[in-house]
Copies of this chain bind each other. A is one copy, B any other.
Amino acid sequence: MFKDRIYNFNPGPATLPLPVLEEAQKEFLNFAGSGMSILEISHRAKAYDEVHQKAKADVKELMGLGDDYEVLFCQGGASQQFAMIPMNFATKEKPGNYVLSGSFATKAYQEAEILGVGEVAASSKDVNFKHIPTQDELKINPNAAYLHLCYNNTIYGTEFHYIPETNGVPLFADMSSDMLSRPIDFKKFDFIYAGVQKNLGPAGVVLVVAKKSLVEKSPKSLPTMLRYETFFKKDSLYNTPPAFCIYMVGKVAAWIKDNGGLAAMEKRNREKAKILYDAIDSSGGFYKGHADKDSRSLMNVTFRLPSEDLEKKFVAEALEEGLSGVKGHRSVGGMRASIYNAMPIEGAEKLASFMAEFKKKN
């Protein structure tokens, strides 16, 4: 039982900025003088519409995108996007191309496979997804409907540090675990999506930022809720949206703006990542990073200890110190520290000190 807030290294749902939570708590019973909770306000009300529009505008401003892009709020998580993307865009003649750089990247491909419209452009599976395939390794079908990337691989702790050249094939990216964590030339992408529960808000909404020309028309053979056109034409208000999640995403976007935007996020995120990667690299082999150095993620730091017994001990003792959620995914084993935007530098420092202390004792 913790009386105070702890450092939460969970991969998602994940830590959120404390000022954002405090603000939401304060206005929880009466939002903007409406006499209602934000949970109770009609999605057709003016007070909600302001929240909706501001969240969209702030996200686009942070990404430096103009009127040729649209922000949509979908549901069903990135997992449902894995299906909606090939349903809306791929055919047997113009298949989706996929870079398999981890578990979720592979799951996205598998959904295209169910529809018979998926092709592999590259894979790092043979090395347990330790690195991000390089530009040279990509075999892009020039006829592809899109090239799909998972920009940051939460489970393996790897991240793209370059934007692939596709020679005109539209570039799609799942940025669930690094969306708005640093400035990226987002204009080079045609379709970006992110389940918000890692870096942007509570689980329950997927942010889609896409070129209008892609989402303004969808195949009529698809159900209404699986057509991007429905979300585009109705401003994500065809049916009741997950209003509270959108409200929280708006608050997080405003918090990022107030704290210096993506450049400031990157500075802080690089600092935190350096603290932890240095702790690994200076441990004389006690801690071993999973990801190749040139593919290391700024968001999820994965590493192993000399034995599984020590790993169990590490998790238990870290929790006693108020460092929660450091257990890695079973596909990699060991530890994973997720250090999204909202993780303070002090959290990374405290974990690094704990790592040094733990090594000394064991």
Contacts and interface: CB of A to CB of B under 8 A. Distances in A.
Contacts of A24: 28
Nearest to A86: B223
Interface in A1-53: 1-6, 8, 10-16, 18, 21-22, 24-25, 28-30, 33-37, 39-43, 45
B204 A242 contact: yes
B114 A221 contact: yes
A216 B203 CA distance: 25
Contacts of A3: 30, 33
Interface of A is mostly: loop
Given A43-B13, A203-B242, A245-B204, A35 B8 contact: yes
A6 B35 contact: yes
A76 B83 CA distance: 14
Contact of A33 (B1, B22, B221): B1
The number of times this chain is found in the oligomer is 2
Contact of A205 (B204, B223, B238): B204
A70 to B, nearest CB: 19
Interface string A226-239: 10000000000011
Contact of A83 (B5, B28, B42, B223): B223
14 contacts: A5-B29, A5-B35, A13-B40, A13-B41, A13-B42, A13-B43, A13-B240, A35-B322, A39-B202, A40-B202, A79-B225, A114-B224, A204-B243, A244-B244
Interface of A: 1-6, 8, 10-16, 18, 21-22, 24-25, 28-30, 33-37, 39-43, 45, 75-80, 82-83, 87, 107, 110-111, 114-115, 195, 197, 201-205, 220-226, 238-245, 248, 322, 324-325
Given A21-B29, A75-B80, A87-B223, 8 more contacts: A4-B35, A13-B39, A13-B40, A16-B40, A111-B223, A204-B204, A242-B242, A244-B245
